[in-house]
Amino acid sequence: MDIKHNVVGWFEIPVTDMDRAISFYEAVFDFGLTRAKIGRMDMAWFPCVADSIGSAGSLVLMPGRYKPSSDGVLVYFTAFSGDVSNELTRAVAAGGSVLMPKKLISKDIGYMAIFLDSEGNRIALHTH
């Protein structure tokens, strides 16, 4: 099989307080999220590059169906600042906590860090 695009098409991060979660992620990444309700789901979408292949993803509030977790799937966000320490510092300032400080994975792969978001989800950062 010839893979022609990234395997992740979408992701959803569970939240229990949408206003708090939106404020947290906007503070960490310094961009806005777009909030929308689809049926019973309250969602806030991360920005998306129109002609890019890959995922944008969202925050999702739907009690009884979505539950934040610190030991589930781990989503890696690109640290567009070029240094994961910048986004990690903003995560702490916005109410998150550091689970793994900036760490070199390898010279070829780059750096990573992991934090706990405002909702109790484990989130990773990555940059080359």
Burial of 66 (0-12, 13-18, 19+ CB in 10 A): middle
Which two three-digit tokens encode residue 77? Answer: 């966000």
Report d(CA 54, CA 107) in Å as an integer: 24
Which domains are delineated in the chain?
A: 12-127 (3.10.180.10)
Q: What is the pLDDT of residue 1?
A: 66
Which two three-digit tokens encode residue 72? Answer: 């589930």
Q: What is the pLDDT of residue 8?
A: 76
DSSP letter for 47, please: P
pTM of the predicted structure, to 2 decimals: 0.88
Whole-Å CA distances, 61 to 11, 26, 28, 115, 121: 13, 17, 19, 20, 13
- pLDDT digit string, tens, across residues 19-68: 999 999 999 999 999 999 998 899 999 998 877 766 789 999 999 999 99
Q: What is the pLDDT of residue 4?
A: 66
No. of helices (H) and no. of strands (E), the chain: 2, 8
Report d(CA 72, CA 74) in Å as an integer: 6
The dihedral region occupied by 21, where left means phi > 0, alpha psi between -120 and 50, and beta the remainder, is alpha
